[in-house]
Amino acid sequence: MKVHNFSAGPSILPDFTVEKTAEAIKNFAGTGLSVMEVSHRSKEFVAVMDEAIALFKELLNIPEGYSVLFVGGGASTQFCMIPYNLMGKKAAYLNTGAWANKAQKEANLFGEVVEVASSKEAVYNYIPKGYEIPADADYFHITTNNTIYGTEIKEDMDINVPLVADMSSDIFSRPVDVSKYALIYGGAQKNLAPAGVTFVIVKDEILGKVDRQIPTMLDYRTHIKGESMFNTPPVVPVFAALQTLKWIKEQGGVAAMQKMNEEKAAVLYNEIDRNPMFKGTVVNEEDRSLMNICFIMADEYKELEKEFFTFATERGMSGIKGHRSVGGFRASTYNALPKASVQALVDCMKEFEALHVK
């Protein structure tokens, strides 16, 4: 039986990435050694890092004046690195989910934080709109996709303060106008690589403007100067990231990814809306995520939630259990998930409906 991987993260990777990484774990670049045991300063691995950075810039059309970094610590470490490096006195945050809330909490340690809007009161089931961003904010922080609650900001904002975005779960899922951002960051374990590496795209000119001293490892300039090699990078995840970047390019780039993701999401959302046994959790259709599709049982079928989970799992659906704060189900439809897997889930939902709805 084929297993369909809807896990929210770590999540499905392209077969190409898995196969090439497995090969390199056994014999990396013809060295006779594993990529896990060669020096990160060897010419073979330096070539991997250089190519990964170059492809990152190519696929996202990153302008001159930006640096791409691969660092450790996860996106959660970025929650403090960002205010450490960018906040002078004040920063603004949009609170659209658990991770946005955690980022905002860390920023409170460094100065005044203005929460411009929040959807917390509604269990983050919509993206707030119509808020004002303080003109004197050092930056405005957003989380573009919310894995737990299934909402997504799908357009690049035009604002008058530096824009910072956590794109952990939707990077490379659509074209991005990087020139509208001061900094973009994310954990790689959704659309890029195994857990262990974090990417950062930072506009060089925004750095070095705060008065505080910054610990060496938390200073972006350290990693720019060291070309992501100040300390030993997470070599296997970086190698895997390069393979995924190659795969994205081979598929036609981020525009092709967006087209496939929109098609996959439409298939599942259409079934959720059609099937009387299920309903979506996001209030506004325009806020629905293309990456994490959350749904629950309709009120009259609530008692069948566990039964459907078992039913779907027995048919190869893996990782569809919703987050405990939302309940129900979550199908993560990242770049590498084939449309056939989405169709298999839809077929499963229809089969379950036929058993219970007369």
- Determine the straight-line distance between the first and last CA of the chain, rounded to whole angstroms: 29
Residues 6+ apart with CB under 8 A from 12: 5, 6, 332, 334, 336, 337
Q: Is 99 a catalytic residue?
A: yes
Q: Could you confirm whether 247 is annotated as catalytic?
A: no
Give tens-digit pLDDT for 55-75: 999 999 999 999 999 999 999
Other C-beta atoms lying within 10 Å of the C-beta of residue 175: 15
Question: Which residues contribute to the annotated binding site for L-glutamate?
Answer: 41
CA distance 11 to 192: 9
Return mean pLDDT, the chain: 97
Beta strand 278-280 with 292-297 is antiparallel
CA dist., res. 29 & res. 48, Å (int): 10
DSSP string over 27-60: SSTTSSS-TTTS-TTSHHHHHHHHHHHHHHHHHT
DSSP single-letter state for residue 136: T
- Which residues neighbour 341 within 8 Å (Cβ) at sequence distance 6 or greater? 4, 5, 6
Q: What is the pLDDT of residue 190?
A: 94
CA 349 – CA 213 distance, rounded (Å): 56
- Burial (CB < 10 A; 0-12, 13-18, 19+), residue 60, is buried
Give which of 330, 308, 311, 312 is closest to 321, Cα–Cα: 330
Q: Which segments of the chain have a pLDDT < 50?
A: none
Tokens of 340: 């056939």
pLDDT score, position 358: 82
Report the relative pairing of strands 4-5 and 90-95 from DSSP bridges.
unpaired
* Structural contact between residues 321 and 309, judged by C-beta atoms closer than 8 angstroms: yes
**Are 292 and 146 spatial neighbours (Cβ–Cβ below 8 Å)?**
yes
The residues of the chain that CATH labels 3.40.640.10 are 15-251
Span(s) in the chain for CATH 3.90.1150.10: 252-356
Residues in binding site: 41, 75-76, 99, 147, 166, 189, 231-232
Closest CA to 351 of 271, 267, 266: 271
For the entire predicted model, the pTM comes to 0.97
| Residue with tokens 């229809």, as numbered in its chain | 350
**CA 134/CA 91 separation, integer angstroms:** 8
Given the residues 166, 170, 219, 287, select the one marked as catalytic.
Answer: 166
How many angstroms separate the Cα of 33 from the Cα of each of 18, 37, 226? Answer: 18, 7, 25
pLDDT at 161: 98
Active-site residue, 190 included: yes
CATH fold of the domain at 252-356: Aspartate Aminotransferase, domain 1 (3.90.1150)
CATH, domain 15-251, list 3.30.70.20, 3.40.50.720, 3.40.640.10, 1.20.210.10: 3.40.640.10
| Residues that constitute the known binding site for pyridoxal 5'-phosphate | 75-76, 99, 147, 166, 189, 231-232
Catalytic: which of 20, 190, 203, 321? Answer: 190
